[in-house]
């Protein structure tokens, strides 16, 4: 255990001391993605101390059994500033989490689906406002007029008009998406498409059928071709078999009194891949965040980032959001992402849960900060971890930058 702590500490110091590409030379080629668009920028003075403090917070949290294990990826202006695993893959087993350990992402998978769709929009394969019926001629809803007007934008912005979480319980119980989607035709709508926000998993996954019919390629293969492979996300996958047989995966855990009990891996939700089917490591998420913050436009076009992060519809400010996010003004859903007005910034965010796993991701397109934290448990810590860092960053580092820019302009 002591040797493991020394090793991970070295990785942290290396992250601060070397650029992303230099770090790649000492970490088994984890960062082979290259882009001429990366421009190195000096970090705010308070950022290093903030990251070290945050690392201590996560270390203490895992040591205090708030989760058996976790992994983090932090990026800032084109560089990875923290990449680390914490704790163990399975409670009671001395097998440490590292930054290549794969976790299930749950609904953080939705962001991959909308980005993939945006890439296909840029390639002219589909358009955001295309009607679903253009690609799924046999698609039905209870209201025929609504079915005829439902668009790709409605699906990805959670504005289908269906009741909240329609048939999510069936996914929870192990039913396959292909055996559920036809039943959407039997559900009375509560609004017309585009009018209100109601979160969906089954309806959201219609995008996989749309992209297949539009391109002739399977959704999971498209994700590999357009995102995973070009970004060298080598631990990422979208199926149960890959996760089950991967020797470096975290096991799911549920609370058992004051401790944790591991659960078997299960195949639920993989059939609804756009909604909840992605597996990934902290290493993968670091590359994903670099792309989301604009540093690999040859893979992820800037226009796509703008499109998915546009506030499509206002959503309720849940109690957990109000408690954890400082200076939270309004909350929206974009396309596959939530958008939070926080301290003068539009933070693009999503959380995810599948049995025994929690994941959180957020990035700010303006300041180019991005964070992803993965847990192998249903820990309440997940709701706190991302806003804790983002709040501190905005309060300290962004304020410092504003003062510095003001001084330069005087």
For each of the domains in the chain, give its residue range(s) and CATH number, in order of start: 2-104+236-305+349-409 (3.40.710.10)
Per-residue pLDDT, 399: 57
Residue 11 has pLDDT above 50, yes or no: no
Per-residue pLDDT, 249: 98
30 and 283 in contact (C-beta within 8 Å)? yes
Q: Taking all residues of the chain, what is their mean pLDDT, rounded to a whole number?
A: 89
Using alpha carbons only, give the angle 175, 177, 182 rounded to the nearest 5 degrees: 105
Residue 366 has pLDDT above 70, yes or no: yes
Stretch 12-30: mean pLDDT, rounded? 34
Residue 209 has pLDDT above 90, yes or no: yes
Per-residue pLDDT, 116: 98
Q: How far apart are CA 26 and CA 282, in angstroms?
A: 17
DSSP labels for 109-139?
A: HHHHHHHHHHHHHHTTS--TT-BGGGT-TT-
Q: How far apart are CA 340 and CA 323, in angstroms?
A: 14
Stretch 330-346: mean pLDDT, rounded? 96
pLDDT in tens, 290-332: 999 999 999 999 999 999 999 999 999 988 899 999 899 999 9
Length of the chain: 410
51-55, 63-67, 314-318, 406-410: lowest mean pLDDT where? 406-410
Q: Which of 62, 58, 89 is nearest to 73 (CA)?
A: 58
Split at pLDDT 50, 70, 90, the class of 12 is very low
Buried b (16+ CB within 10 A) or exposed e, 189-227: beebbbebbbbbbbbbbbbbbbbbebbebebbebbbebb
Strand pairing class (253-256; 259-262): antiparallel
Split at pLDDT 50, 70, 90, the class of 8 is very low
pTM over 0.85: yes
Q: Which helix (H) or strand (E) holds 169?
A: helix 168-172
Neighbour tally for 133: CB within 10 Å: 15
Q: Is the pLDDT higher at 398 or at 276?
A: 276
Alpha-carbon separation of residue 230 from 33, 47, 117, 156, 225 (angstroms): 8, 30, 16, 24, 7
Q: How far apart are CA 77 and CA 298, in angstroms?
A: 17
Distance of CA 157 to the CA centre of its chain: 16
**Residue listed under structure tokens 């019919």:** 213
pLDDT in tens, 253-284: 999 999 999 999 999 999 999 999 999 999 99
Residue 166 has pLDDT above 60, yes or no: yes
Q: Is the pLDDT higher at 9 or at 206?
A: 206
Split at pLDDT 50, 70, 90, the class of 407 is very low
Per-residue pLDDT, 46: 87
Q: How far apart are CA 132 and CA 156, in angstroms?
A: 11
Q: How far apart are CA 89 and CA 94, in angstroms?
A: 8
Residue 64 has pLDDT above 50, yes or no: yes
pLDDT in tens, 175-184: 999 999 999 9
Split at pLDDT 50, 70, 90, the class of 397 is confident
Q: How far apart are CA 153 and CA 308, in angstroms?
A: 10
1-15, 42-56, 139-153, 388-402: lowest mean pLDDT where? 1-15
Stretch 236-254: mean pLDDT, rounded? 98
């Amino acid at each position: 255990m002591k040797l493991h702590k020394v090793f991970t500490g070295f990785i942290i110091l290396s992250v601060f001391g070397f650029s992303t590409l230099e770090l790649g030379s000492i970490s088994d080629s984890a960062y082979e993605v290259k882009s001429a668009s990366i421009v190195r920028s000096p970090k705010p003075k308070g950022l290093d101390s903030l990251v070290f403090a945050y690392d201590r917070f996560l270390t203490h949290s895992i040591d205090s059994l708030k989760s058996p294990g976790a992994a983090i990826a932090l990026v800032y202006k084109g560089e990875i500033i923290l990449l680390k695993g914490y704790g163990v893959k399975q409670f009671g087993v001395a097998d440490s989490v590292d930054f290549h350990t794969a976790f299930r992402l749950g609904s953080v998978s939705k962001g991959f689906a909308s980005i993939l769709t945006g890439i296909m929009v840029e390639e002219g394969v589909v358009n955001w406002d295309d009607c679903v019926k253009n690609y799924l001629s046999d698609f039905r809803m209870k209201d025929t007029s609504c079915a005829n007007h439902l668009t790709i934008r409605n699906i990805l912005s959670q504005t289908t008009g269906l009741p909240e979480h329609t048939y999510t319980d069936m996914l929870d119980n192990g039913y396959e998406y292909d055996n559920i989607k036809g039943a959407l035709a039997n559900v009375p709508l509560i609004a017309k498409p585009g009018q209100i926000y109601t979160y969906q998993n089954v309806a959201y996954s219609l995008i996989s059928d749309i992209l297949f019919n539009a391109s002739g390629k399977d959704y999971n293969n498209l994700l590999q071709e357009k995102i995973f492979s070009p970004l060298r996300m080598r631990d990422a996958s979208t199926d149960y078999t890959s996760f089950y047989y991967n020797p470096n995966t975290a096991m799911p855990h549920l609370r058992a009194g004051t401790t944790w009990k591991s659960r078997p891996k299960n195949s639920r939700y993989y059939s609804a891949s756009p909604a909840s089917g992605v597996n990934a490591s902290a290493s993968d998420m670091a590359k994903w965040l670099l792309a989301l913050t604009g540093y690999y436009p040859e893979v992820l076009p800037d226009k796509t980032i703008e499109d998915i992060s546009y506030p499509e519809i206002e959503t309720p400010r849940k109690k957990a959001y109000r408690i954890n996010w400082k200076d939270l003004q309004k909350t929206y859903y974009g396309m596959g992402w939530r958008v939070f007005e926080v301290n003068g910034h539009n933070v693009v965010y999503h959380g995810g849960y599948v049995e025994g796993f929690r994941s959180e991701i957020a990035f700010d397109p303006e300041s180019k900060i991005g964070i992803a934290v993965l847990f192998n448990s249903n820990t309440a810590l997940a709701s706190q971890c991302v806003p804790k860092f983002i709040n501190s960053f905005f309060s300290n580092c962004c304020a410092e930058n504003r003062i510095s820019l003001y001084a330069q302009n005087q």
